[in-house]
């Protein structure tokens, strides 16, 4: 039996008392970036756990929230950089069946034993995974097969600190040979999913305010004057409608897609395989929708993987009063927008939006809130092949997705640091940003085994030379 198999046996034996307990501990500590609640306490917990596991932990102040920086020098020839997020979303949803930070263990729907609570999927599980893997080697008295660099940030507000951190620590980070984001991506019943990349993110607002073009400039006016006074809500809605095609699949802003990279033959082959493997009804059920925009599943997968989105997350203007009515022409209307570009220059995209609005709808202005770029890896990359090999060693045949629409600033790792980037772990969790977020207990045990085996496999990989 190989040494890693012995370590995995110990992980299984100690799972409840040690590894699951670590996840519960992290989930029970609030760390809400929108309010700041618990952030200081969470960063201290992680820093102290790094030190307790034999590493060097540091809390590095950032432009937004701190980075928890950890280093484990095992004297190994290869170094793994693990990028995780320690913050969580707000918990105000009324549908919660448990206290959001109770990390309650219970039988949930058809998934069996689960842990319910904020952070189960996004993102305490990914943090616990890597700490558990390091602890498993420590408890076995076996040196880590790779050196490990931990970079743990608060991302819910848009990863405001990570760019400056990478810039200031670039020489140290360039010691890494590969980067891993251990976000749990598994499906129920041990169905595994691997994403080869992630989209970037641009968040912003489109704002229409009354002015010399029309609309009430001093205060709202009564709607009896709506035949005389222009309405900012109507103007903004007209602008928004002009941006999307009638089938809502394409962005019509000139040059929006001009620097998009078309999928390769390898990418198209992966999509064709996915289309054969995916249960479309199951996909609809998991999304909670009756139908997709696309008639054909292959078209849907292509749009998801290779087309940059332009989404309206919210629209506000005037008053909507339940059980009543306020008859006004509003002074202002605002739309909250998020773009998820893939392989495109985000500054160029913002310029396209601003130019289009200035030309066609000058009363609407664009306000950028946050921006970062994503990137993808080829399936043939050595690290990707080792990564997929771990799943197969565990008896799983993963679905390979060219891209995840989950936005992450992984271009920092692939281009700035210059290393291959990996995403995923086989646990099944769901409900991020919603009530009753959960993770299946047995699947988290699989993910803990996966992390142990990944460190071993990366450490023993023969290509490229370490």
* Residue 251: both structure tokens together: 């962005």
Q: Counting Cβ atoms within 10 Å, is residue 54 exposed (0-12), middle (13-18) or buried (19+)?
A: middle
pLDDT for 462 equals 79
Strands of the 421-423 sheet, one edge to the other: 56-60, 67-72, 147-153, 79-85, 178-181, 421-423
Q: Tell me: pLDDT of 136 over 60.
A: yes
Q: Which pLDDT does position 254 carry in this prediction? A: 98
Alpha carbon 253 to chain centroid distance? 26
Segment 296-325 shows an average pLDDT of 94
Q: Is 186 left (phi over 0), alpha (psi -120 to 50) or beta?
A: beta
Find the mean pLDDT for residues 243-263.
96
What are the angstrom distances between the C-alpha of 64 and each of 36, 47, 260? 10, 18, 31
Q: Cα(83)–Cα(429) distance, rounded to whole angstroms?
A: 19
How confident is the model over 312-349, as pLDDT tens digits?
999 999 999 999 999 999 999 999 999 999 989 999 99
Q: CA quadruple 222, 336, 258, 270: dihedral positive or negative?
A: negative
Q: What is the pTM of this model?
A: 0.88
Residue 417, both tokens: 């640091």
Q: Is the pLDDT of residue 464 over 70?
A: no
Beta-carbon-side half-sphere exposure of residue 52 (alpha carbons within 13 Å): 10
The answer on pLDDT for 456 being more than 50 is: yes
Please tell me whether the peptide bond between 134 and the residue prior to it is cis, using omega within 30 degrees of 0. Answer: no
pLDDT averaged over every residue in the chain: 95
Q: Which of 122, 177, 114, 139 is nearest to 53 (CA)?
A: 139
In this prediction, residue 159 carries a pLDDT of 84
Ramachandran bin of 105, using left for φ above 0, alpha for ψ from -120 to 50, beta for the remaining angles: beta
Give tens-digit pLDDT for 398-442: 999 999 988 888 999 999 999 999 999 999 999 999 999 999 999
Under the banding of pLDDT at 50, 70 and 90, the label for residue 157 is: confident
Nearest to residue 32, comparing CAs of 157, 181, 164? 157
Contact by Cβ (8 Å): 121, 23: no
Q: Is 219 left (phi over 0), alpha (psi -120 to 50) or beta?
A: beta
- CA neighbours closer than 13 Å in the CB half-sphere of residue 14: 18
What is the per-residue pLDDT for 178?
Answer: 98
Q: What percent of the chain has pLDDT over 90?
A: 90
- 250 Cβ contact partners less than 8 Å away, ≥ 6 residues apart: 244, 307
Tokens (6 digits) for 117: 């609570």
Mean pLDDT across the stretch 56-77? 97
Q: What are phi and psi of 329, to 5 degrees?
A: -105, 115
pLDDT at residue 407, as a whole number: 84
Yes or no: domain 201-260+307-372 corresponds to CATH 3.30.70.20: no
Of 460, 455, 423, 437, give the one whose Cα is nearest residue 192: 423
Average of pLDDT values for 226-237? Answer: 96
Angle at 171 between CA 384 and CA 33, to 5 degrees: 75
Alpha-carbon span 217 to 221, nearest angstrom: 9
Residue 365 three-state SS? strand
Whether residue 9 contacts residue 453, with contact meaning beta carbons closer than 8 Å, is answered with no
Q: Cβ of 372: how many Cβ atoms within 10 Å?
A: 22
In Å, what is the CA distance from 126 to each residue of 5, 34, 278, 405? 22, 20, 25, 18
Residue 380: what pLDDT? Answer: 94
User: HSE (CB half, 13 Å, CA atoms) of 34?
Assistant: 7
Task: Calculate what percentage of the chain has a pLDDT beyond 70.
Answer: 99
- Per-residue model confidence (pLDDT) at position 1: 62
Token digits for 30?
A: 């609030």
pLDDT at residue 465 greater than cutoff 70 = no
Structure-block tokens of residue 304? 């998801």
Q: Where are the domains of the chain?
A: 3-198+374-460, 201-260+307-372
**What CATH number has the domain spanning 3-198+374-460?**
3.40.630.10
Give the pLDDT confidence score for residue 315 in this predicted structure. Answer: 97
SS3 (DSSP) at 50: helix
């Amino acid at each position: 039996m190989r040494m890693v198999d012995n370590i995995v046996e110990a992980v299984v034996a100690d799972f409840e008392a040690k590894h699951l307990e670590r996840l519960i501990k992290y989930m029970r500590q609030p760390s809400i970036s929108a309010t700041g609640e618990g952030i200081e306490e969470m960063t201290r917990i992680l820093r102290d756990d790094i030190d307790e596991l034999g590493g060097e932990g540091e809390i590095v102040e950032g432009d937004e929230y701190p980075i928890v920086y950890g280093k484990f020098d095992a004297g190994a020839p290869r170094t793994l950089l693990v990028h995780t997020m320690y913050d969580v979303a707000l918990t105000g949803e009324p549908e919660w069946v448990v206290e959001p930070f109770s990390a309650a263990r219970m039988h949930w729907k058809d998934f069996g034993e689960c842990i319910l609570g904020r952070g189960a999927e996004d993102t305490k599980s990914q943090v616990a995974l890597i700490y558990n893997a390091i602890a498993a080697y420590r408890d076995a008295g076996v040196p880590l097969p790779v050196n490990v660099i931990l970079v743990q940030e608060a991302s819910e507000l848009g990863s405001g600190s990570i760019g400056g951190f990478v810039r200031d620590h670039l020489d140290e980070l360039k010691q890494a040979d590969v980067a891993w984001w251990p976000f749990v991506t598994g499906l129920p019943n041990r169905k595994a999913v691997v994403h080869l990349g992630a989209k970037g993110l641009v968040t912003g607002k489109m704002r229409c305010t009354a002015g010399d073009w029309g609309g009430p400039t001093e205060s709202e006016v009564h709607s009896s004057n709506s035949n005389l006074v222009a309405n900012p809500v109507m103007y903004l809605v007209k602008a928004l409608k002009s941006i999307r095609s009638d089938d809502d699949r394409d962005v019509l802003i000139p040059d929006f897609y001009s620097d998009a990279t078309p999928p390769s033959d390898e990418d198209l082959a992966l999509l064709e395989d996915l289309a054969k493997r995916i249960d479309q009804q199951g996909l609809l059920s998991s999304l909670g929708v009756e139908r997709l925009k696309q008639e054909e599943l292959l078209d849907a997968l292509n749009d998801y993987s290779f087309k940059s989105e332009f989404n309206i997350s919210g629209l506000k203007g005037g008053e909507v009063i339940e059980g009543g009515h306020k008859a006004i022409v509003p002074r202002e209307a605002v739309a909250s927008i998020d773009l998820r570009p893939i392989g495109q220059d985000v500054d160029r995209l913002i310029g396209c939006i601003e130019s289009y609005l200035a030309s066609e709808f000058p009363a609407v202005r664009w306000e950028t809130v946050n921006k970062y770029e994503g990137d993808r890896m080829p399936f043939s990359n050595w690290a990707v092949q080792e990564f997929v090999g771990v799943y197969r060693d565990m008896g799983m045949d993963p679905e390979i997705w060219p891209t995840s629409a989950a936005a992450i600033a992984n271009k920092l790792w692939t281009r700035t640091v210059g290393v291959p980037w990996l995403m995923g772990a086989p646990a099944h969790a769901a409900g991020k940003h919603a009530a009753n977020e959960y993770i299946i207990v047995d699947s988290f045990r699989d993910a803990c085994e996966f992390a142990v085996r990944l460190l071993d496999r990366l450490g023993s990989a023969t290509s490229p030379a370490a």
